[in-house]
Amino acid sequence: MGPLGAEEFSENVELNFQDDNSGVYPQAGQGQTRPPTIFVIFGAQGDLTKRKLIPALYNLAVSRHLPQEFAILGVDGVSMNTEDFRVKIRRDIQELSTHPIELTIKEWLLDRLYYLSGDFRNPQTYEHLRKMLSELDTQYGTGGNYLYYMATSPSFFGEIVQNLGAKGLVAQENKQARRIVIEKPFGHDLSSAQTLNSTLRSVLDEKQIYRIDHYLGKETVQNILVFRFANGIFEPVWNRQYIDHVQITVAETLGVEHRGTYYDKAGALRDMVPNHLLQILAFVAMEPPNAFDPEAVRNEKAKLLRAIQPMNPMEVLQSTVAGQYGAGIYNGTQVLPYRSEDNVASTSLRETYTAMTLSIESWRWEGVPFYLRTGKRLKKRVTEVVIQFKSAPLMLFRKTPVDRLTPNVLVIRIQPDEGISLSFGAKIPGPQVQVGSVNMDFQYADYFGDAPSTGYETLLHDVMAGDATLFQRSDNVELGWSVVDPILKVWDSLGTHAIHSYSAGTWGPPDADALLAKDGRMWRNYE
Ligand code: BG6
């Protein structure tokens, strides 16, 4: 994982451009893995391609992380030729690039961009695809290595893969790399995820499948592992003896925007918990893997997810909260309630907020509650992990004015403010013994500057390099669904009683505060 290490970076800045027949592009640095690849995008006309994939590929080209032998082939139902597709993508790069435009790099990329229009359900499309891939292989020397990115609606995933299989386009008989990247949602419950996994596995080997979770592309999420395992001082206290509880918050200020059709079927629980929140939880709570390799890391994640106690119906009632936003004020303006958003049913019972307490049954975490919450139209956009340690004994201060000690809190800030802070008690200057809480604060930007990225660069690079460490294995996905399935069942059976409303622009329903209050704890909220 993580192609953009400091060493590699300094290697890259020394690179020179060179002119050859295949365009202007720098040589690879020593030891870099940039295997020749054709990057095939199903859903090339969609938003994901425009906003994330193309800008990320452009950024990878700028940082010299694409191979010289490289081409992109967009496939979509919209009728268009390659020339027009290049015009469109040229415009998109101009509009959406997160990095200043470097003309030579942009042209290099556009010269390698092709388009095939075709219906994903029509076998003929795949006949045309085979022909085009073989022509591009000859032209760019890509050696039959194909990466297929499923940027389509999930309803096409299975069918596209089956069609690719039927045309022999995923066979790796001559040791070519043929990989599939699948976006979320990966199923809508445990059984549909299992069905999708078995469809994929009827055509592909598990090692060819890269299930993407864009949260694992965030540097700050990857840094949780580095923070825990590259430092000697945290791991000894990372357990039930020292930690009181953990909070994981993914709060958004936006509403459902233009995604009402999808969201009103999914809801906050399906949309965020089995994937993003549990991935963060796994990184925070798993045992140290014995190597930074895909199987070692994913085995530990699977062990952790398996240790989350499934809830019985009574526990669902006591330990989960579902909320839906009503009208409210966001950014000084009045915003619509969820039920008035486009493509949302006016009687919708879908949750836009969820909070829950999870217990992990393990030697390390027995008795330590993990509080998770996520929601839309909340007061502030913030994604963070809060580790609250147990308080020190007060004994020493018995004869002083200090009547209680504030626990140490470690906050891992994932976005938008990226950093880590640790609070601790300090003596307030003066003749009396008084203790105040102060912060040690690390900000990513202070040390590493602002990296203009889409969050997809590392993940795309890793698929090309064949490193699946940051991707979800089939068991990881299914274990995620096993945690939320019992909750969904109870909520469904409760109907209207399951949903608590909250005003847009607040921290969610009061019931979520009660969830922690009954354990004598509080969410860490912001003004
Ligand atoms: C997506 C969800 O997976 O993640 C969206 O479908 C959500 O509903 C988004 O808004 C949040 O991602 P980020 O990177 O903006 O925190």
Which residue has its alpha carbon closest to ligand 1 atom 15? 252
Which amino acid is located at 87 in the chain? V
What pLDDT is recorded for position 24? Answer: 47
The CA 276 to ligand 1 mean position distance, Å, reads: 9
The CA 346 to ligand 1 mean position distance, Å, reads: 24
Ligand 1 site residues (CB inside 6 A) read 184, 214, 252, 271, 383
Which residue has its alpha carbon closest to ligand 1 atom 10? 252
Instruction: Tell me the Cα Rg of the chain.
Output: 25
Cis amide bond preceding 55, omega within 30? no
Which residue has its alpha carbon closest to ligand 1 atom 4? 272
Mean pLDDT for each consecutive 10-residue tract of the chain (527 residues)? 37 32 45 81 96 95 93 97 97 89 94 98 98 98 97 95 97 93 95 97 97 94 95 97 98 95 96 97 97 94 97 97 96 94 96 98 98 97 97 83 89 94 93 91 88 87 95 97 97 89 97 97 94
What pLDDT is recorded for position 520? Answer: 96
- Ligand 1 atom with the smallest distance to the CA of 256 is 8
Q: Which string of DSSP letters, residue by residue, matches 34-78?
A: ---EEEEEETTTSHHIIIIIHHHHHHHHHTT-S-SSEEEEEEESS
Query: Is 276 known to be catalytic?
Result: yes
What pLDDT is recorded for position 80? Answer: 97
Q: What CA–CA distance (Å, rounded) separates 133 from 139?
A: 10
Cis amide bond preceding 185, omega within 30? yes
- Ligand 1 atom with the smallest distance to the CA of 218 is 14
Choosing from 153, 216, 252 the residue with most ligand 1 atoms within 8 A of its CB, the one to mutate for a pocket test is 252
What pLDDT is recorded for position 17? Answer: 31
The CA 31 to ligand 1 mean position distance, Å, reads: 35
What contacts 18, CB < 8 A, 6 or more positions away?
24, 25, 26, 27
Which residue has its alpha carbon closest to ligand 1 atom 6? 271
* Cα pseudo-dihedral 108, 469, 262, 126, rounded to 10: 50
- Ligand 1 atom with the smallest distance to the CA of 271 is 6
- Ligand 1 atom with the smallest distance to the CA of 266 is 6
The CA 462 to ligand 1 mean position distance, Å, reads: 21
Annotated active-site residue in 65, 214, 245, 276: 276
Q: Which two tokens stand for residue 68?
A: 């010289």
The CA 95 to ligand 1 mean position distance, Å, reads: 21
